[in-house]
Amino acid sequence: DDQIEAPPASDLIRGKMEARVRIIDVKTGATLWPADATTGYPLELQSDWTSRGEGVNDSSVEESVRNSLAENIVRLFYKFTPES
């Protein structure tokens, strides 16, 4: 589920997105991961408020939030070391 928020009479904008991640055995339909949550592992992400302007609009905010959510999904399955 995704959502773009923009208060009335303001140039501020932020994006919100949530997803449920799970691994399913295609032969049996059984949930393999997470074992304790058959509806999936919940992830939520919300961007900071930012001002609309050149290069900042609904589409760019949505794309940024989607990319961040994708990175968080990958981190569930791969070791991650932040860059210094």
CA dist., res. 46 & res. 28, Å (int): 35
Q: Is the peptide bond before 42 cis (omega within 30 degrees of 0)?
A: no
- The reply to whether 84 falls in a domain is no
Q: How many domains does the chain have?
A: 1
> Could you report the per-residue pLDDT of 34-58, keeping only the tens digit for each?
988 888 999 999 999 999 999 999 9
**Domain range holding 46?**
2-75
Collapse the DSSP code of 60 into the 3-class scheme (helix H, G, I; strand E, B; otherwise coil) and give the result.
helix
- The reply to whether 42 falls in a domain is yes
- The reply to whether 25 falls in a domain is yes
Which residues, including other chains, have CB under 8 Å from residue 52's CB and lie 6 or more apart?
6, 11, 12, 13
**Share of residues in the chain with pLDDT > 90 (%):** 81
Nearest to 20 by CA among 44, 53, 47: 44
